[in-house]
Amino acid sequence: MGREKEKEKPSEKALNLLRSRLSDPNFIFRPLSDSPDSNYSKLKFIISTSVTEACNNSILLLGPRGSGKVAVLELVLSDLLQQYPEAISVIRLNGLLHSDDNCALKEIARQLCMEHQLLFSKVASFDDNSQFMIAMLRECGLAHKTIIFVLDEFDFFAQGKQRLLYSLLDAMQSVNSQAVVIGVSCRLDVDQLLEKRVRSRFSHRKLLFLSPSKEDTERFMEHILSLPMDSSLPHNYAAEFNGRLKKILSDERFKELIDTYLSFNFTIGHLVRFLFQAVSYMDLNAGFLSLGNFKTALSSNQRQLKLESIRDCSVLELYMMVCMKRLEVKEQTSYNFYSVMTEYKSIHDSFQTSDYYAANVCLRAFEHLLQCQLISFIDNKGHNQSVEFRPVKLLISSAELHQGLKSYQQCPAILLKLMDR
């Protein structure tokens, strides 16, 4: 027993270590940042020259979700905050929260006040806040302090009259300030959304965050998954763990598996999530990662949820869905429980199927379908109406339904026939 416990311990530790690594953006993005071509060093160069050479810049970070825009930015900011502890203050805004100019300015004023231990007043007007911001930009410029504005979801700021961006960028080009505006967005054409006056003042540095190449991905997986040799983990265990990992990584089957995964999701964020899943499947008793873990993770990623939920349905429910499909084919776009029942009845009348149930039973099947989210109400109106009168729609395409019926074992042949018709 005691031996087993000792054996378990390192594997648990290893699991914890791997998991904490996978959820720490610092660890994930650090190894990708050392080369001069990386976005990390480019971004760091731009921001640190703005700090040291007292210039204003505006940068856009573009790339699909999960490509590490904010993570890299945070990495750069934390490094720079260490390098110039006094000279930087960071103001963070999010387009989802502060797309309104007034509220954004208020938030800027609040964070500036926090940063410099000033008293903040909630009732200050738009004018007051914008003048305060400009005054602060000037004062900070004189004190060799750089203000970095991080505008997440930048596309939301590029709506309406864009007063915030205009006054920010205009202040940056007229007073002797030191400020960097960093816009983060997943819309690639976000600079086209800017108003022409704002666009003219924007300095159009763009950094594109792309998915890593295949070699990078492999290097990256090895970096994340291999255990450190000099930690508290037993040396033998770590060595064996790493040896097995290397074997897995060089396995052709594994490469295929990763390729299939990456063929539809190709960003670092997704890859990390996948690895997290695989690591969580690790068998604690064995204590090592195996190819099976990755396979399970992949198959759990490729689950076809709608087909599975069809598999769980009763035959009556299948009938009801087929009826709805038939109604749609007949170009009857809006239907409720009673119109579906009429169709059901007509099928029963013409084909004399064995599965005929009373209306109240059908209603329960209908409600179950609603709960499974295979069908849903068309609109939110008519809450006070009872369920059977509200119009519904099918949330599954005919091709999927067909496939589901085929894979359903006790599916009556008549249903497939009805679908084909």
Partner 1 sequence: MPTETPRKQFQSPKKPKQSPNNVKSQSSTPSIHLSPQTPQLPLRRSSRRSLQLFTSKTVDEMLDLSTPRKALEALDGIGKCSGNNRKGSSVRTPRTLKCKFNEEDREIPEMGKVGEGNGEVEDVFCPVSPEALESKKRKKGLSEEGSVKMGKSPKCKLNEDLGKLGEGNGDVVSPEKRKKGLRNEESVKTRKSLRCKLSEEEMEIPDLGKLGDATFFPVSPQALESKKRKKGGEKRAVTRAMATRSLKKVNKEEKKGRKRVYYKKVVYDGGEFEVGDDVYVKRREDASSDDEVPEMEECRVCFKVGRGVMIECDDCLGGFHLKCLTPPLKEVPDGDWVCGFCQARKLGKDVEFPKPPEGKKRVRTLREKLLASDLWAARIESLWKEVDGSYWLRGRWYIIPEETASGRQPHNLKRELYRTNDFADIEMESIIRHCNVMSPKEYAKANDQGDDVFLCEYEYDIQWHSFKRLAEIDNDEDGECANGDEDWNSCKEDDSDTDEDMEYEEENERNAHARPSTTHQLAANSRKGRFFGIQKVGTKMIPEHVRCHKQTELERAKATLLLATLPKSLPCRNKEMEEITTFVKGAICDDQCLGRCLYIHGVPGTGKTMSVLAVMRNIKSEVDAGSIRPYCFVEVNGLKLAAPENIYTVIYEALTGHRVSWKKALQLLNERFSDGKKIAKGDDRPCILLIDELDLLVTRNQSVLYNILDWPTKPHSKLIVIGIANTMDLPEKLLPRISSRMGIQRLCFGPYNYQQLQEIISSRLKGIDAFEKQAVEFASRKVAAISGDARRALEICRRAAEIADYNMKNQISSVNSSTVKDVVTMADVDAAIQEMFQAPHVQVMKSCSKLSKIFLTAMVYELYKTGMGETTFEKLAMTFSCLCTSNGEAFPGWDTLLKVGDDVAFALKDSKDLPWLAKYL
From residue 299 to residue 328, the character string flagging contacts with partner 1 as x (rule: CB under 8 A) and all else as - is ---xxxxx----------------------
The reply on whether position 298 binds partner 1 by CB under 8 A is no
Q: Tokens 């265990």 — which residue?
A: 237
| Binding segment toward partner 1, per CB under 8 A, in 130-138, 313-321, 323-331, 384-392 | 130-138
Q: Tell me the closest approach of the beta carbon of residue 256 to partner 1, in angstroms.
A: 11
Query: Could you give the 3-state DSSP secondary structure of residue 179?
Result: strand
Q: What is the dihedral of CA 312, 315, 319, 321, to 10 degrees?
A: 0
Q: Which of residues 161-190 bind partner 1 (CB under 8 A)?
A: 161, 163, 166-167, 170, 172-177, 186-189
Task: Report the residue from 33, 38, 94, 203 that binds partner 1 according to the rule CB under 8 A.
Answer: 203
Task: Report the residue from 144, 247, 311, 381 that binds partner 1 according to the rule CB under 8 A.
Answer: 144
Q: Tell me the closest approach of the beta carbon of residue 140 to partner 1, in angstroms.
A: 6
| Binding segment toward partner 1, per CB under 8 A, in 71-79, 263-271, 342-350, 367-375 | 263-271
Q: What is the dihedral of CA 94, 98, 102, 105, to 10 degrees?
A: -20
Report the alpha-carbon distance of residue 410 to residue 371 in Å, rounded: 22
Residues 6+ apart with CB under 8 A from 220: 28, 31, 32, 212, 268, 271
Residue 205 phi, psi dihedral angles, 5° rounding: -80, 135
* Cβ atoms of 76 and 47 closer than 8 Å: yes
From residue 34 to residue 73, the character string flagging contacts with partner 1 as x (rule: CB under 8 A) and all else as - is --x-----x--xx--x-xxxxxx-----xxxx--------
Q: Which is nearer to partner 1, 265 or 353 (CB)?
A: 265
Q: Which is nearer to partner 1, 20 or 260 (CB)?
A: 260
Task: Report the residue from 94, 217, 242, 265 that binds partner 1 according to the rule CB under 8 A.
Answer: 265
Instruction: With CB under 8 A as the rule, give the number of residues binding partner 1.
Output: 89
Task: Report the residue from 399, 409, 420, 421 that binds partner 1 according to the rule CB under 8 A.
Answer: 399
Choose among 298, 284, 224: nearest CA to 8: 284
The reply on whether position 142 binds partner 1 by CB under 8 A is yes
Q: Tell me the closest approach of the beta carbon of residue 218 to partner 1, in angstroms.
A: 16
The reply on whether position 246 binds partner 1 by CB under 8 A is no
Exposure b/e, 306-342, CB count within 10 A at least 16 = b: bbeebeebebbbbbbbbbbbbbeeeeeeebbbebbbe
What angle (nearest 5°) sits at the alpha carbon of residue 220, between those of residues 216 and 224? 180
Query: Could you give the 3-state DSSP secondary structure of residue 180?
Result: strand
Q: Tell me the closest approach of the beta carbon of residue 88 to partner 1, in angstroms.
A: 11
The reply on whether position 384 binds partner 1 by CB under 8 A is no
The reply on whether position 33 binds partner 1 by CB under 8 A is no
Query: Could you give the 3-state DSSP secondary structure of residue 290?
Result: coil
Structure tokens at 11: 């594997």
The reply on whether position 297 binds partner 1 by CB under 8 A is no
What angle (nearest 5°) sits at the alpha carbon of residue 104, between those of residues 143 and 168? 45
Q: Tell me the closest approach of the beta carbon of residue 296 to partner 1, in angstroms.
A: 17
The reply on whether position 413 binds partner 1 by CB under 8 A is no
Structure tokens at 87: 């000279």
| Binding segment toward partner 1, per CB under 8 A, in 12-20, 206-214, 225-233, 338-346 | 206-214
Q: Tell me the closest approach of the beta carbon of residue 152 to partner 1, in angstroms.
A: 17
Give me the DSSP letters along 377-405: ES-S--TTS-GGGS-EEE-S-HHHHHHHH
From residue 80 to residue 119, the character string flagging contacts with partner 1 as x (rule: CB under 8 A) and all else as - is ----x-xx--------------x------x--xx--x-xx
Residue 237 phi, psi dihedral angles, 5° rounding: -60, -50
From residue 343 to residue 382, the character string flagging contacts with partner 1 as x (rule: CB under 8 A) and all else as - is ----------------------------------------
Q: Which is nearer to partner 1, 16 or 173 (CB)?
A: 173
The reply on whether position 231 binds partner 1 by CB under 8 A is no
Report the alpha-carbon distance of residue 379 to residue 394 in Å, rounded: 13
Longest dimension (CA), the chain: 89
Q: Tell me the closest approach of the beta carbon of residue 67 to partner 1, in angstroms.
A: 10
CA 263 to chain centre: 17
